Amino acid sequence: MDSVFSYIPGESFLHRMHPLTKLVAAFAVCVGAAVCGNHAYVLALIVAQLIVAAICGCFKPCAKLVTALGSLALIVLVLQVLCVRTGTPLVQAGWFMITDEGLLSGVLVVLKVVCMVLPLSIAFMTTQINDLTNELVGKWHLPYKYAFTVTTAIRFIPVFMDEMSAIMEAQKARGVRFDTGNVVKRIALMVPLCVPLLISSVKRTDAIAVAAELRGFNLRTRTSAWKKHAFALADFIMIVACFALFVVAIIL
């Protein structure tokens, strides 16, 4: 079971880039998309990112992400279209009204959501999370404890998913009907799942702490990391380019 944060091995230019460059660039594009009010520009950003994703061999998961977000964004679109009452009405029947402004702003929101999620996803797919945290600890002086907590949390998402489905299987085997059609009932059935999951995760936390302690977790310092990443010309170009995209987004 993979999450959007899963690393996809590869040798593309993004894979080889400095982890912090990718983080900064992703934030620039992300914030740029958030403040931009131009449909065409946001759409162009999305297309550009998908092309980059294709070059880096992570087009498939990105496309999956876009479709998944698309269905979620559709709800936002409908709400937005129904709620905005300003502008020229296109369709009108009683209180029901669709205006051109509503339609435009709805589409913009959808595009923005997609465009804001892509950069960080691509950055994570092309960066090993350990490299990123090691650089954050080494260059930006983030305390290692926090970095370790974050990486461990991300790494254990699939483990806990497996545990969850194991508990569900066990309860199904004893007659709990998780496949009931009633949504409310199904949610009510999820509640008793929480206790065993919580207990097993707390137990696991202790085991992780022990294992880390036995391998010198407490001795680690800022300069412990072995792998070194150097800033290259490509990193410089990347940051300048993404900053330029950001500035253009503000101007438009």
Partner 1 sequence: MIKVNNLSFTYEHGSAPALKDVTLHVKKGDFLGIIGESGAGKTTLTSAINGLIPHHYHGDYFGSVEVDGVDTFDAQLSDLSLVIGTVSQDIDSQMVAAVVEDELLFGLENFGVPHDQIEGRMLQALEAVGIPDLRNRRIATLSGGQKQKVAIAAILALRPDVILLDEPTGELDPVSSRQIFDVLRELNQHGVTVVVVEQKVMLLCEYAARIAVMDKGRIVLEGTVADVLRRYKDMERIGINCPRVATLCDRMTERGVGDGRVVATVADACSYVKEVLS
Q: How far is the CB of 146 from partner 1 (least distance, A)?
A: 15
Q: Which is nearer to partner 1, 25 or 129 (CB)?
A: 129
Q: How far is the CB of 93 from partner 1 (least distance, A)?
A: 54
> DSSP letters along 185-221, please?
HHHHHHHHHHHHHHHHHHHHHHHHHHHHHHTTGGG--
Q: Which is nearer to partner 1, 87 or 196 (CB)?
A: 196
Q: Which is nearer to partner 1, 20 or 110 (CB)?
A: 20
DSSP assigned state of 181? S
> DSSP letters along 57-111, please?
T-HHHHHHHHHHHHHHHHHHHHHHHHH---S-EEEEETTEEEEHHHHHHHHHHHH
Q: How far is CA 6 from CA 56, 137, 158, 176, in A?
A: 14, 21, 10, 33
Q: How far is the CB of 139 from partner 1 (least distance, A)?
A: 16
Q: How far is the CB of 164 from partner 1 (least distance, A)?
A: 15
**CA 58/CA 61 separation, integer angstroms:** 6
Q: Which is nearer to partner 1, 124 or 246 (CB)?
A: 124
Phi and psi at 57, nearest 5°, equal 75, 20
DSSP assigned state of 6? -
In the complex, the residues that contact partner 1 under the rule CB under 8 A are 7, 9, 128-130, 148, 151-152, 155, 158-159, 204, 207-221, 224-227
Q: Which is nearer to partner 1, 108 or 135 (CB)?
A: 135
Q: Which is nearer to partner 1, 27 or 148 (CB)?
A: 148
Say which amino acid occupies 85: R
147 exposure class (CB count in 10 Å sphere: 0-12, 13-18, 19+): buried
Q: How far is the CB of 124 from partner 1 (least distance, A)?
A: 11
Q: How far is the CB of 49 from partner 1 (least distance, A)?
A: 24
